[in-house]
């Protein structure tokens, strides 16, 4: 069975474009984004890794260590990085795991045999500082991911880890958030001194508390 939310993200050692890494040592107490792509030297993957590299300051700001993965050889990763840099106008600034023996892909359920027997699908795992899986996403090979959405989810995860709030549909940083049902009405003024609105007894909003 594939990894589910709340599961402990498996630790691993792997060959990468920045040398051998031990996953837990590499991510330390940070958040982590681990994502797989089907294959090197392919067009959609080239744009995805380029987009991720261009967002380095956004991942850094949020304390997120980024790692990409496919089952291709390290030499292929290293050659392809030159193409990504050239065509996407970036410097790839995160490790790409060469998971030739599929140890990591299998531990994380990144190979979906009915989609492809050999290649990883476009899996995304966001892992918290406690090494628990906080988000999983799976996209098919034909659809490039939206890395702004990944940043948006990280913002929500980091906010809701620290405050008794949840974020509504299409929320983005700076917008009002929802007070979780566990907070009693009488506790709201002390917990959320910026004010709040009661739209329904179960739908109470407040300005984003960490701004």
Closest to ligand BEZ by CB, 66 vs 179, is 66
Sites for ligand BEZ among residues 86-145 (CB under 6 A): 141-142
Which one of the listed residues 3, 9, 27, 45 is annotated catalytic? Answer: 45
H/E segment holding residue 126:
strand 122-127
Q: How far apart are the first and last CA of the chain?
A: 40
45 catalytic? Reply is: yes
DSSP secondary structure, 74-113, as one string: HHHHHHHHHHHHHHHTS---S-EEE-TT-HHHHHHT---T
Q: How far is the CB of 37 from ligand BEZ (least distance, A)?
A: 7
With binding defined as CB under 6 A, does residue 43 bind ligand BEZ? yes
Interaction pattern, residues 3-42, with ligand BEZ; x per rule: CB under 6 A: -----------------------------------xx--x
Radius of gyration of the chain (CA): 19
Indicate the burial class of 204 (C-beta count within 10 angstroms; 0-12, 13-18, 19 or more): buried
Closest to ligand BEZ by CB, 71 vs 127, is 71
136 vs 127: CA distance, rounded Å = 9
The torsion angles phi and psi of 115, rounded to 5 degrees, stand at: -95, -50
Q: If binding means CB under 6 A, how many residues of this protein chain bind ligand BEZ?
A: 8
Closest to ligand BEZ by CB, 16 vs 70, is 70
Cβ atoms 109, 3 nearer than 8 A: yes
Closest to ligand BEZ by CB, 38 vs 128, is 38
Q: Applying CB under 6 A, which of residues 45, 84, 111, 133 lies at the interface with ligand BEZ?
A: 45
Q: How far is the CB of 154 from ligand BEZ (least distance, A)?
A: 23
* Among 111, 124, 120, 136, CA closest to 6: 136
Q: How far is the CB of 113 from ligand BEZ (least distance, A)?
A: 15
The residues annotated as belonging to the active site are 45
| Residues engaged in binding ligand BEZ (CB under 6 A) | 38-39, 42-45, 141-142
């Amino acid at each position: 069975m594939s990894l589910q939310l709340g599961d402990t993200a498996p630790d691993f050692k792997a060959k990468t474009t920045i040398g051998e890494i031990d996953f837990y040592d590499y991510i330390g107490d940070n958040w982590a984004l681990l994502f797989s792509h089907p294959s090197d030297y392919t067009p959609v993957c080239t744009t995805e890794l380029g987009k991720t590299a261009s967002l380095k300051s956004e991942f850094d700001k949020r304390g997120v260590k980024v790692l990409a993965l496919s089952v291709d050889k390290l030499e292929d990763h290293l050659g392809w990085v030159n193409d990504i840099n050239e065509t996407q106008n970036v410097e790839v600034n995160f490790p790409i795991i060469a998971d030739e023996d599929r140890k990591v892909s299998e531990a994380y359920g990144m190979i979906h045999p009915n989609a492809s027997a050999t290649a990883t699908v476009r899996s995304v795992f966001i892992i918290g500082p406690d090494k628990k899986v906080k988000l999983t996403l799976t996209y098919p090979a034909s659809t490039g991911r939206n890395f702004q959405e990944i940043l948006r989810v990280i913002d929500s995860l980091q906010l809701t880890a620290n405050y008794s709030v949840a974020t509504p549909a299409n929320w983005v940083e700076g917008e009002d958030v929802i007070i979780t049902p566990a907070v009693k009405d009488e506790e709201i003024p002390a917990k959320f001194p910026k004010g709040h609105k009661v739209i329904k007894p179960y739908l109470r909003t407040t300005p984003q508390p960490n701004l």
